[in-house]
Structure 1
């Protein structure tokens, strides 16, 4: 009788585990994903054993109802005790296996800051219709962004910064109507910004710096009402700055430095809600618009290394706050105004202009 009860109990436990644990197909997909990676120092995959991948597998979480794998969160830089004990950040080699695409209920995948992971973004990743977060920052992943990335209609975060991604920004990316955070910084991406970029209406951060992106800045960007941070610096962008960028309701940071942007500075940029403005190292010309006033509040205005001419706007003295101002390496001429903010600026803010004078450069 006792033996019979033990058998029944074992069967009940097996049934309970099958119902509440991860599916065999999800477990097999995770093990195939693991097999393509090599992490030699921390042993983060040591816990990936046993039948139930939904419990106590490092970085793996499952949906409470379906018991299918929903999240993979593996960060090479973390405050997790496993990193503190090792007194080091993570390092991992290998590649992201296409087997990951067998996890059909995957909502987020983060494999970030491992420094040595190579290969490409699996093209099949665009079949994961529940995916909300795709974060591969800080690896050595190459190849192109999947051409049909726009299929991921639930995607809110796309972060593939600090890799070796090449090719163009796919036109389909503008179909990501839920996207809030886009980070493509420090890759080898070329070609233009898609003309219909403004369709990303939920976007709050667009970080595209440190690539080889060329062509004009699409005016459609100004239709992204929620956009607060736009960084297009260190690219090969050309053409003029759209006036409409200065009319954006919540845009607070605009970095366009280190491009080939020409034309004049739109008046709208200097009378907008932008508080961090960097237009340095372009080929901008003409006068600096004299449109500052009590509502002007800038943490940074950097206009250095352009072809700007004329005087320094006197209305700058009326601004409520200007933290850092750099007008060096232009063709400005005339007397530097006195009072705030000029009293706390040193000569480096004004050096290498045609004929500026006054404090701090010297008397006229």
Structure 2
């Protein structure tokens, strides 16, 4: 009798163990249901991205879905329209996904990453409920046709490190709450229809290394607080409607390497500190900048690109420019500069187009100066 009882207990334990094992190694049914709702709003007929979304375990073999190995909760969705993955290489044409992002994605409460990028056909709005995903670290929706506004309370995503919404059709303003994203390291909102001003307190983003806002309709002045982000390496504000002067303290930033302000309505003079700073890519072309080119070049001046074209600069090209360590591309065309072009580097490898359409520049590579 005792043997039978022991056998029953043993078999019961085995069944319980098997059931638990099945439960532990399968994704949560609610997560699977949310993924299927998400998938139902998208259409991708060419590559078959969603052909693997079958079976009960969405953590095993579902293309682009990743799970936390401990909790078996869905932690990431990664679907890129331009991919080196063999699944994409089989296609003779670039895959084009259409549809929209269903709010059901917000039911995946443990999501840390959402990457739905470069499909060029996904439209609709960004669900505002994304604000309520507390573990989200990476939100990348670049290269689609999303419209509408950036969720107003996106600043609630305190763990967010990457926010990339570039190359869409978003409009409205940069939400003021964005300055609460104190963990953010990469902000890219390029090539949308965003208007309004850059939040004055954007300098609160102390961890950010890239702020890319080019190709929008942003107006107002460049906030001084940007110059207090000591990690900032790349700042791109090109092709907007920015006005006012260039903050002189940009030239005092220790790691700023790219400063692109071209195609705005920026006025005032070029701060001398910019030309003797750590900036290696400086584009100020297509603005309303006046005054002379500062005579502040020195050994620290190392420019892969120095573009000052299409402004209202006057006076000569400063003699100190020959003290620069390197200038790869120089363009001072379409200004009101006058005088003899200095001899030596960087002028020995530049052609006449770099100096064209000025008042009275002369010397190599232009014509000889009149005596």
Shorter-chain TM-score range: over 0.9
Match of 1:261 among 252, 263, 266: 266
Q: Considering only aligned residues, what root-mean-square deviation do their CA atoms show, in Å?
A: 1.5
Against the structure 1 CA distance between its residues 39 and 234, is the aligned structure 2 distance closer, same or farther, given a 3 Å change threshold?
same
Match of 2:277, SS state, is coil
Q: Which residue of 2 aligns with 1:112?
A: 117
Which residue does 1:333 correspond to in 2? 338
Instruction: Give the one of 99, 116, 127 matched to 1:122.
Output: 127
Counterpart contact for 1:206–1:230, Cα < 8 Å: yes
Q: Where does residue 20 of structure 2 map in the other structure?
A: 15
**What corresponds to 2:87 in structure 1?**
82
Runs of 4+ in 1 over 4 A off after TM superposition: 4-14
Matched, 1:199 2:211: no
Q: Are 1:92 and 2:109 matched, yes or no?
A: no
Q: 2: distance between equivalents of 1:330 and 1:10?
A: 83
Give unpaired runs (5+ residues) of structure 1.
none
2-side partners of 1:269 and 1:338: how far apart?
22
1:153 aligns with 2:158: yes
Does residue 1:138 correspond to 2:154, yes or no? no
1:171 CA displacement: 0.3
**CA–CA separation in structure 2 for the residues paired with 1:16 and 1:201:** 45
**Of 313, 323, 329, which residue of structure 2 is paired with 1:324?**
329
TM-score (norm 2): 0.95
Partner of 2:45: 40
Number of equivalent positions: 361
Q: By how many angstroms is 1:222 displaced?
A: 0.6
Paired residues of 1:78 and 1:89 also in contact (CA < 8 A): no
Tell me the CA shift for residue 86 of structure 1: 1.0
Q: How far, CA to CA, are the matches of 2:51 and 2:332 in structure 1?
A: 56
1:172-193 CA distance string (max 9 Å, x none): 0000000000000000000000
Q: Distance in 2 between matches of 1:110 and 1:332?
A: 48
CA pair 42-14 structure 1, distance change in 2 beyond 3 A: farther
2:128·2:151 contact (CA, 8 Å) conserved in 1?
yes
- Give the corresponding residue for 2:287: 282
Contact 1:109/1:135 (CA < 8 Å) preserved in 2?
yes
Q: For residue 219 of structure 1, what is the aligned residue in structure 2? A: 224
Q: TM-score, normalising length from structure 1?
A: 0.97
Q: Which residue of 2 aligns with 1:162?
A: 167
SS of the equivalent of 2:49 reads coil
User: Which structure would you say has the larger Rg?
Assistant: 2
Please say if residues 277 and 300 of structure 2, whose CA atoms lie closer than 8 Å, have aligned partners that are also in contact.
no
Q: Distance in 1 between matches of 2:209 and 2:92?
A: 35
